[in-house]
Structure 1
Amino acid sequence: MYAERPAPAGLACLWTRTVPAPAVQRVVPDGCTDLMWTPATGALWVAGPDTRAQLASVAPGTLYGVRLPPGAFPSVFGVPAHAVRDLRVPLSDLVPAARLTSFSEMVAFCTARVVADPALTATAALLRTRDVESAAWEIGLSSRQLRRRCLDAFGYPPKVLQRVLRFDSALRLAWTGVPFAAVAAEAGYADQAHLAREVRALAGVSLGQLIRP
């Protein structure tokens, strides 16, 4: 069972995942990053920004997570997001001084360190609706500067960030029951076939399989 609840300002959400037996779960790209804690072992892991689906082996019990919104990773962990792209690394590798032993301490750790950057929020918003060159022009950056900003903050080059954000929007629409043709149009795909190709490329399965209960 997976459950989310609201988080303090600057964080995306707090979540738990409980399984009664060993399982393999598909984690798909959403532009976010996570700090995760397994009470049974005390292990603290950081999940970097994904460019493709990850198949995670989950042990019986409850996994606790703090999800950071796109662009927040460097302020919390002190390294560029691209350094942990598609990786799961121990928190101690990034913040050796961190000593966290409870979920509340995880939340406090992230809340105290996260910095909301309006420029990054604006960058992500523009890239949802503009091509890279137009977005860079509106922000007042060269394409090279925009690429560097995106790699450091989000972990992706601008075009990959566009794909991930568009995919996440499509998935959220599909979960609400919107027909796939309408999902494609509302999320900004050329057509339903384009949506299907992108979902398969990023998630490894079809959209129907992905949202199946």
Structure 2
Amino acid sequence: MYEERPACLPGAVVWHATVPAGAPLRVLPDGCMDLVWTGEAFLVAGPDTTAHLVDSTPDTGYTGVRFPPGTAPAALGTPAHELRDQRVRLSDIWSEARVRSLTQRAADSTAPAGLLDALAADLLRASGPTDPLAGLVTRGARAGLPVSTLARRAGMSERQLHRRCLAAFGYGAKTLARILRMCEALDMARRGVPWVRVAALTGYSDQAHLVREVRSHSGLSPSALVT
């Protein structure tokens, strides 16, 4: 079971997931990073390039906040590429004392989702002005703009843009665009749009191209993910 709602932080999402009995929970790449409360500890979910399988005791619940693309590294104080395809304890990033205090607050709370919601907003506020590059690259990636165009609009070389994207997103702008396009395609299919139409609307060369891309990032066919 999975539920989510908009967070106080614009563009962020607060969510709760329960691992089903008999099968792991498959978490797909989405261009984002999450701060997760397991009920016992805080984890940071780094930016994924492939599906992450959560396999734990059935009915285990997880609560988290998903930061908008490119914003979590500044809020958490760690470059995204250092956490790519990883799940690490928050205590590996922050001081033990800071995490111990936050863990106690979460353990005592009857609404950990609210705690995470407020924490995400506070962290981003404390990190200072948001780097406009994250928004520029995310919008450009969603629009399917070439890396060369994004670099020109950002006023830097493609090599400089790649380095900045590694720190903000965990990977380059091209990989971000592929992941965001996959998410858009799956969202369309879940709304009942036929696959051929989905492929055309989201910029894939054909349906076979869509299938290859989705399988490379998720490990499953598009139909298996939407069913």
* TM over 0.5, shorter chain: yes
RMSD of the TM alignment (CA)?
1.6
Match of 1:63, SS? strand
Distance 1:85 1:72 in 2: 15
Match of 2:24, SS? strand
- Aligned pairs for 1:1-213 (under 5 A) are 1-19=1-19, 21=21, 23-39=23-39, 42-59=40-57, 60-96=59-95, 97-98=98-99, 99-100=101-102, 101-102=105-106, 103=112, 104-114=114-124, 116-128=130-142, 129-212=144-227
Q: Give the AA of the match of 1:87.
A: Q
CA contact (8 A) 1:11 1:66 kept: no
Q: Which moved more, 1:60-69 or 1:110-119?
A: 110-119
Change (3 A) 1:94 1:62: same
Q: What are structure 1's unaligned runs of at least 5 residues?
A: none
Q: Give the AA of the match of 2:34.
A: D
Cα deviation, residue 46, structure 1? 0.7
CA contact (8 A) 2:32 2:67 kept: yes
Change (3 A) 1:173 1:61: same
TM-score in terms of structure 1 length: 0.92
CA contact (8 A) 1:22 1:57 kept: no
Cα deviation, residue 34, structure 1? 0.9
Q: Give the AA of the match of 1:206.
A: S
Q: Give the AA of the match of 1:121.
A: G
Q: Give the AA of the match of 1:24.
A: P
Q: Which moved more, 1:114-123 or 1:179-188?
A: 114-123
Match of 1:14, SS? strand
Q: Give the AA of the match of 1:44.
A: F
Q: Give the AA of the match of 2:54.
A: A
Match of 1:70, SS? coil
Change (3 A) 1:207 1:180: same
Cα deviation, residue 139, structure 1? 2.0
Cα deviation, residue 61, structure 1? 3.2
Q: Give the AA of the match of 2:18.
A: T
Cα deviation, residue 210, structure 1? 0.5
Match of 2:4, SS? strand
Change (3 A) 1:11 1:43: farther
CA contact (8 A) 2:42 2:89 kept: yes
Distance 1:137 1:20 in 2: 46
Distance 2:48 2:20 in 1: 26
1:28-80 alpha-carbon deviations (Å, 9 max, x no partner): 111011111122xx111110000011111133232111111110111221010
1:142-168 alpha-carbon deviations (Å, 9 max, x no partner): 001110111000111122111111111
* Seq. identity, %: 47
Distance 2:94 2:192 in 1: 41
CA contact (8 A) 2:19 2:54 kept: no
Distance 1:159 1:133 in 2: 10
Distance 2:203 2:182 in 1: 9
Q: How many residues align?
A: 210
Larger fraction in strand = 1
Change (3 A) 1:21 1:194: closer
Distance 1:2 1:199 in 2: 21
Distance 1:150 1:158 in 2: 6
